[in-house]
Amino acid sequence: MDSAAASTHAHAYNGVRTSSAPRALATEAVHAGRDDLARQGLHAPPIDLSTTYPSHDSRAEAARIDAFAATGADPQGPPVYGRLGNPTVARFETALARLEGTESAVAFASGMAALSAVLLARASLGLRHVVAVRPLYGCSDHLLTAGLLGSEVTWTDPAGIADALRPDTGLVMVETPANPTLAEVDLRAVAHACGSVPLLADNTFATPVLQRPAEHGARLVLHSATKYLGGHGDVLGGVVACDEEFAGRLRQIRFATGGVLHPLAGYLLLRGLSTLPVRVRAASATAAELARRLAADPRVARVHYPRLGGAMIAFEVHGDPHEVIAGVGLITPAVSLGSVDTLIQHPASISHRIVDADDRKGAGVSDRLLRLSVGLEDVEDLWRDLDGALEARMRPPRGAGR
């Protein structure tokens, strides 16, 4: 992707129209969703914590609610109620849509709440069937497989998508690079195979810094905003970037189900976007070097690192991966990813434990696989920690040889 072309048309936010000239991704990350602040005499975006908004004009308020009920469009005029929308969250949504190159974005309380809203939106039209490609994030896999929202899933490889479509197929879902194996799919080819069925691409690992799925035909772009968009391990959120028509339906689902993003979370996510390009590029450079060293290490059986690049590494070790987890000191042994500090976890035990063992292994998630989310530490410090953890794992067990 040419990250210099992050926007090619004019945008409006709170009545303020920005230039129609394209702006580089780094510039959009800093300014999108904030274009009106200087005109208001503000520098930092305000946090609107209101749950409700007073109005003496109940007729106009009723008209706004009717309009929202009909189309799901953002209510024109003053806000009405926190479940319909929040000004602080709207700033984050505007910014993320700009970075992904879509018309709109709709934010939710978590990435799983965002995916659930998409499934409910399609099911409400009688389109309950989903075609999906493994691997996906473990909870996404479970949500589809268990049919918790009334959906039915057909698992296939990318080449089998077209044949798996049915009249009631409402969605095709892929994740690329995939969690946790970092397998990649050709988004343009997949989108072509989908025909008129919307393609949902989980872009959590790549972020719009490395990949913008909408440019390759995806109608829906999903993020667990908890990860790289927030970037500091202190906020939960999810977001779907999409066209305005689909966004309207998602807003209606969010209003009905209540999976709203808290305004403070919206503020933190907007702040996280401002440093997203710098963080992703710096962590990616370190990850590439660590992947190179791991690939040359005889204690490591296999390394998975995407052609796209990025800050995620998966690697399989000879022997017991739990000993590596136990042996790290600087690296944080924890679930999640995308933070400024480096995290390591064992997918088969944690993030993908909820997936059936045979399905897990069939998707390439072996019991010896470790997932490393590279942060912003110095590469030599990280390698020293990994090297020590791998060395500790290679030592004979206590009492051996007695």
Quote the CA–CA distance of 6 and 28 in Å, as a whole number. Answer: 7
Q: What angle do CA 153, 202, 336 make, to 5 degrees?
A: 105
The two three-digit tokens of residue 253, written as one number: 């689902």
Cβ-contact 115, 153 below 8 angstroms: no
Structure tokens at 11: 């945008």
Q: Which of 191, 190, 108, 175 is nearest to 138 (CA)?
A: 175
Sheet containing strand 332-333, edge to edge, reads: 300-304, 312-317, 369-373, 343-345, 332-333
Return the SS3 of 16.
strand
Cβ pair 246, 221 in contact under 8 A:
no
Helix ranges, 176-217 (H)? 187-194, 207-210
Of the candidates 13, 137, 267, 305, the residue annotated as catalytic is 137
DSSP 154: E
Unique residue bearing structure tokens 């709109």: 104
Are 4 and 101 spatial neighbours (Cβ–Cβ below 8 Å)?
A: no
User: Which entry of 34, 64, 134, 227 is annotated as an active-site residue?
Assistant: 227
Q: Using alpha carbons only, give the angle 77, 264, 90 rounded to the nearest 5 degrees.
A: 30
| Catalytic entry in 35, 74, 141, 202 | 202
83 carries an active-site annotation = yes
Closest CA to 225 of 138, 318, 105: 105
Active site residue 137: yes
CB 25 within 8 A of CB 100: no
- C-alpha 119/C-alpha 129 separation (Å) is 9
Token pair for 200: 């949902």
Nearest alpha-carbon partner for 164 in 174, 154, 173: 154
Please state the length of the chain.
402
**Three-class SS of residue 357?**
helix
Annotated catalytic residue, options 53, 83, 297, 359: 83
Close Cβ partners of 238 (under 8 Å, ≥ 6 residues apart): 107, 108, 109, 110, 111, 112, 113, 114, 115, 222, 223, 224, 225, 226, 261
- Mind telling me the catalytic residues? 83, 137, 202, 227
